[in-house]
């Protein structure tokens, strides 16, 4: 059995720097050399393989198993979820219902700054809470393009807006997983995240308006941004503090959509902003029944995902559940019983194929039910839209697969842990950089859940050594990872595919990276301050 060596160069700092080279290569290829995302990822993957095999001593069989696990995970559940979500969106467009959605939003306000608050901020949070896994980024970015936004701006705004909700996506799973692997009670983590993330969340609506229209836009539309942020943060913070993370995004997103709708009835900016400088199209009036029917795919989506997320449904697929036989687990050759961590714990790496209780299956059922209530759509239209979805997304899905192969090799070689341990070695100032560990984890894996699985135990152990609240550090790991979702390769690929820019991921990354780093810096400083007070 091969044991990971997280310090192969006998200097944890040097080993960590070498482990970070593939990340640097990927960023340089995208930002400086402006290569297509898939080419940048393949180059970074080649570098990662060399470092894992040559520097960290990873056996070829273990690297192959790690890569296979990454590829299979990219297919199921990630690609399945993304394809189903975009298929649902395209079905709504093809049926004409999206015209009603667009018209109903335009009826609330023709001002694109208000539309951003409604769609990317409020509706995006609602979708993040219901489904997660890139669904809100794909749907909101595509919707903004339909409303006349430039593709790069639509993608970037949707990525930044997701920072208000990403920490609690998919019915609070990131926080629940962090609790499970760290031993910190869920409510303690939820309350720590309120203290840590809500100040940033309060600023995001104002930031979105400024991204779109600068200081002038903020002066003209600050009342709407203020209403959105007070309602959103108030509801989200209250749910987190008193109930936990499960409904934090769904409740806040719904409440904010209603608040913007009501506020739009009594107040509008004096100057209507349009990104192209043109005149806003005259809003089409729709009846309440038409609007409800048009939005029905997303209500249906939420209902199915909510059912899939309730404990009673999940219990059916537990090891002793009635449907446990439908959960198929495949140990990865070269990893399971062949690799142990640096601490001497054997690795158990499995790929789970869950055809019934997968989130993508819930979305597939939402597609089917939505189709059945669309009388104008035929079966050939249904599958025609699926074909167009696959043709549109294949480059983005290929990029995600390559990145997950890279991330798994980095994780199982010990490289990711090496970076985390090196950062933890700084002692008393660790709270200042604790969010950076989470940022690295999400950048590599594209998932706050995976990031917490990797690094939450490290945060707890470090907090106990330096006498800082372990709950605060696990929250910092979650919050820092949340800011990385703005530029994680998976998120960028999803956004690019949604707005028709597959192959031009570098443009979106260049537009978004400063916002990710700025939010990370804010979280780092605020976490350090809190560590002195809590």
* pLDDT for position 107: 72
- Tokens representing 186 are 């869920």
Task: Kindly state the average pLDDT of the residues 98-110.
Answer: 76
Mean pLDDT within 476-501: 88
Please give the full DSSP string across 241-264, using - where no structure is assigned: HHT-STTHHHHHHHHHHHHHHHHH
Measured CA to CA, the distance from residue 118 to residue 231 in angstroms comes to: 12
- Distance between CA atoms of residues 305 and 449, nearest Å: 17
The set of residues, in sequence order, having a beta carbon less than 8 Å from that of 159 and lying 6+ positions away, is 137, 141, 485, 486, 487, 491, 492, 495, 508, 512
Q: So what's the pLDDT on residue 521?
A: 96
Q: Which two tokens stand for residue 118?
A: 């409604």
**pLDDT score, position 326:** 94
Write down the pTM of the prediction: 0.76
Where are the domains positioned within the chain? 7-336+352-533
Q: What is the CA radius of gyration of the chain?
A: 22
Please give the pLDDT value at position 468: 84
Q: What is the pLDDT of residue 514?
A: 94
On the question of a cis peptide bond just before residue 77, with omega within 30 degrees of 0, the verdict is: yes
pLDDT band at 248 (very low <50, low <70, confident <90, very high): confident
Residue 51 pLDDT more than 90? Answer: yes
Q: What is the pLDDT of residue 499?
A: 85
**What is the length of the chain?**
534
Nearest-5° Cα angle at 133, 455 to 435: 30
- Count Cβ atoms within 10 A of the Cβ of residue 44 and give its class: 0-12 exposed, 13-18 middle, 19 or more buried: buried
DSSP state of 467: T
- What pLDDT sits at residue 206? 96
End-to-end alpha-carbon separation of the chain, Å? 43
Which residues make Cβ contacts (< 8 Å) with residue 168, sequence separation at least 6?
128, 129, 174, 175, 193, 236, 240, 245, 248, 249
Dig out the tokens for 418 from the structure.
């090496």
> What mean pLDDT do residues 102-129 have?
85
Give the residue-averaged pLDDT of 261-267: 87
Contact between 94 and 385 under an 8 Å Cβ cutoff? The reply is: yes
CA atoms of 203 and 220, how far apart (whole Å) = 17
Instruction: Give dist(CA 116, CA 54) in Å, integer.
Output: 48
What pLDDT, on the 0 to 100 scale, is given for residue 171? 66
pLDDT digits (tens, 9 = 90+) for 153-190: 999 999 999 999 988 876 677 887 788 667 788 889 99
Please give the Cα distance from 157 to 88 (Å, whole number).
Answer: 22
* Average pLDDT score over residue span 35-47: 89
C-alpha pair distances (Å), 480 with each of 15, 193, 214, 411, 443 = 23, 11, 26, 18, 10
Model pLDDT, residue 398: 86
pLDDT over 90 for what percent of the chain? Answer: 41
Q: What angle do CA 454, 521, 482 make, to 5 degrees?
A: 40
Quick one: pLDDT at residue 394? Answer: 85
Tell me, what's the pLDDT at 88? 86
pLDDT at 445: 67
**How far apart are alpha carbons 454 and 450 in whole angstroms?**
6
Do residues 52 and 1 touch, judged by C-beta distance below 8 A?
no
Half-sphere exposure of 354 (CA within 13 A, CB side): 22
Which residues are CB-neighbours of 92 under 8 A, at least 6 positions away? 98, 101, 294, 297, 370
Nearest to 362 by CA among 40, 46, 135: 135
**Average pLDDT for residues 109-138, to the nearest whole number?**
84
CA distance 477 to 455: 7
Residue where the block lists tokens 């902003």: 273
Find the mean pLDDT for residues 426-437: 88
Give the range with max mean pLDDT: 29-33, 444-448, 480-484, 493-497: 480-484
Q: What is residue 138's predicted lDDT score, i.e. its pLDDT? A: 84
pLDDT at 9: 96
pLDDT at residue number 344: 82
Q: How many CA atoms lie within 13 A of 182 on its CB side?
A: 35
Residue 283: what pLDDT? Answer: 64
Give 113-147 as a DSSP string.
Answer: HHHHIIIIIIIHHHHHHHT-TTHHHHHHHHHHHHT
> Is residue 278 pLDDT above 70, yes or no?
no
136/156 Cα distance (integer angstroms): 13
Query: pLDDT tens, 378-410?
Result: 999 999 999 998 987 787 788 878 878 888 898
Write down the pLDDT at residue 327.
93
Asked whether the predicted pLDDT for residue 250 surpasses 70, the reply is yes
Strands 350-353, 328-331: pairing kind: antiparallel
Do residues 208 and 120 touch, judged by C-beta distance below 8 A?
yes
Residue with tokens 């894992």: 52
Q: What is the mean pLDDT of the chain?
A: 87
Average pLDDT over residues 444-468: 74
Write out the two tokens for 127: 């979708």
**Tokens standing for 53?**
């095999």
List pLDDT tens digits, range 181-225: 677 888 899 999 999 999 999 999 999 999 998 999 899 999 999
Q: Which residue has the tokens 């898939």?
A: 38
For residues 452-472, give the mean pLDDT.
78
- Least confident among 89-93, 254-258, 510-514: 89-93
């Amino acid at each position: 059995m091969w044991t990971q060596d997280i310090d192969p160069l006998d200097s944890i700092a040097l080993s960590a720097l070498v482990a970070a080279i593939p990340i640097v290569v990927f960023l340089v290829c995208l930002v400086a050399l402006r290569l297509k995302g898939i080419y940048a990822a393949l180059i970074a993957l080649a570098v990662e393989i060399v470092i894992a095999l040559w520097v960290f001593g990873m056996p070829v069989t273990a690297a192959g198993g790690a890569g296979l696990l990454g590829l299979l995970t990219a297919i199921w559940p990630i690609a399945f979820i993304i394809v189903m979500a975009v298929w649902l969106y395209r079905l709504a467009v093809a049926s004409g219902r999206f015209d009603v959605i667009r018209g109903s939003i335009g009826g609330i306000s023709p001002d694109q700054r208000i539309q951003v608050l409604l769609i990317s901020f409020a509706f995006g949070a609602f979708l993040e809470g219901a489904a997660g896994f890139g669904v809100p980024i794909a749907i909101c970015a595509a919707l903004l393009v339909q409303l006349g936004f430039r593709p790069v701006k639509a993608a970037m705004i949707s990525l930044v807006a997701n920072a208000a909700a990403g920490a609690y996506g998919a019915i609070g799973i990131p926080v629940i997983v962090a609790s499970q692997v760290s031993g910190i009670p869920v409510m303690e983590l939820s309350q720590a995240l309120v203290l840590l993330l809500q100040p940033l969340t309060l600023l995001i609506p104002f930031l979105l308006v400024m991204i779109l229209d600068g200081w002038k836009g903020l002066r003209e539309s600050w009342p709407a941004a203020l209403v959105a942020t007070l309602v959103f943060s108030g509801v989200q913070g209250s749910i987190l503090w008193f109930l936990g993370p499960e409904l934090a995004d769904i409740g806040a997103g719904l409440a904010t959509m209603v608040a913007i709708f009501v506020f739009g009835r009594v107040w509008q900016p004096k100057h209507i902003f349009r990104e192209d400088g043109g005149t806003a199209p005259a809003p089409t009036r729709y009846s309440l029944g038409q609007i409800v029917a048009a939005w029905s795919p997303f209500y249906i989506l939420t209902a199915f995902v909510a059912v899939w997320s309730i404990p009673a449904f999940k219990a059916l697929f537990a090891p002793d559940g009635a449907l446990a036989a439908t959960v198929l687990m495949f140990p990865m050759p070269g990893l399971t019983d062949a690799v142990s961590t640096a601490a001497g714990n054997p690795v158990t790496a499995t790929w789970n194929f869950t055809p019934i209780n997968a989130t993508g299956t819930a979305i597939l059922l939402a597609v089917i039910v939505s189709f059945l209530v669309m009388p104008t759509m035929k079966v050939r239209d249904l599958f025609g839209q699926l074909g167009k979805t696959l043709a549109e997304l294949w480059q983005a899905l290929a990029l995600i697969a390559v990145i997950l192969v890279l991330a798994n090799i980095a994780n199982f070689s010990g490289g990711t842990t090496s970076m985390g341990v090196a950062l933890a070695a700084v002692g008393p100032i660790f709270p200042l950089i604790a969010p950076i560990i989470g940022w690295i984890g999400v950048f590599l894996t594209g998932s706050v859940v995976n990031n917490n699985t990797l690094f939450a135990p490290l945060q707890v152990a470090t907090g106990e050594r330096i006498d800082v609240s372990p709950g605060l550090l696990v929250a910092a790991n979650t919050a820092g990872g949340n800011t990385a979702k703005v530029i994680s390769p998976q998120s960028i690929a999803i956004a690019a595919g949604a707005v028709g820019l597959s192959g031009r991921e570098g443009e979106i990354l260049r537009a978004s990276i400063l916002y990710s780093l700025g939010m990370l810096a804010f979280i780092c400083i605020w976490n350090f301050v809190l560590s002195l007070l809590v």
